[in-house]
Structure 1
């Protein structure tokens, strides 16, 4: 496979997709595989139904038509009225292009479109690059808000 074009002239598109979109499912599957490699104890979902959230709203980023990043938002019960960023991942071949930050901003905008004024997210401390990006984007660390066994850091941002 040829290396992706990383020039400024590359065409980046963010598109809304359904949770069962084959490209969304494929990229989320690659995200899970990467976490399984990187987390000291591995990472697994309990089944195909847990791979993506059927109630979530997903975005797919493409670079020159090739799937490059994915992410979703969904409503959560706690904190009340908040949306949660889920399954945000950038293909390693496209890292360093600002796609993660662009995806996060677009997911925040999508949350606002769905009536949310607060966004939360969780992550594992192994993902240092994600921790840095969230801090730079104005997220502040908060107390645990869910029972995700893989999450070690919890963040919140008012939109």
Structure 2
């Protein structure tokens, strides 16, 4: 399974709910710390996004966000192999969100699986703009995905 940005939020939520359904997951710049990000109006885009996600400073939205926010719902269970990416210059999903999520997943993962974090030190939310760097990243993702289904690499 794969998703990015807000799609990474959906992916993170389903991985918390039913990790057993997936051989592996790729999360590109995932928006996974909804509670903290949406609570901080100094972060770019936060106040604009309240219409979509809700303002957790209001109790009704706080309670709702708490039910699905991937970071807040990581628990001790068997997670699949995961490849998570972040961009140092991402102005939509701070690099610290995926980093915190990966750290928490590694702490609570009870399976013998790998949770990888790749931070691109030169890119933002949309990844590499140089096509050869893009192709290299895509090749790594395909290799990771194939390994998750038993076709070589880390997930055998």
Same fold (TM over 0.5): no
Identify which of structures 1 and 2 has the higher relative contact order when contacts are C-alpha pairs closer than 8 Å and 6+ apart: 2
Alignment TM-score, normalising by the size of structure 1: 0.30
